[in-house]
Amino acid sequence: MQTSIRELKAHLSEYIRQVEAGETVTVSIHNRPVAQIVPIKQQADLSELAKQPGISWSGGKPNGLPKGEALPEGVGLADWVIEDRR
């Protein structure tokens, strides 16, 4: 479904109800599409995710890294991150 920005502003509640029902609304300015309003996908709960092949979870928190890294002395955090990404 496509609408102009003017029409969208005039009937926003109606368009939101349609999006809530699963429709995607494309918004155009001067007949040029510029945005889409899409329904939010419902998040699967953990039991549904655990049923997926190859996924397992013991129910606990992850352990994380065995030993964290320390910021080298005299190096800024941004510089350290940039260097780590190379």
**Distance, C-alpha 83 to centroid of its chain:** 27
Question: Taking the CB of residue 5, how many other CB atoms lie within 10 A of it?
Answer: 13
Vertex 22 angle, CA 36 and 1, to 5°: 45
* Cα–Cα dist 65/27, whole Å: 46
Supply the pLDDT for residue 22. Answer: 92
**For residue range 35-75, what is the model confidence (pLDDT) as tens digits?**
999 998 877 777 777 778 887 777 777 777 677 777 888 88
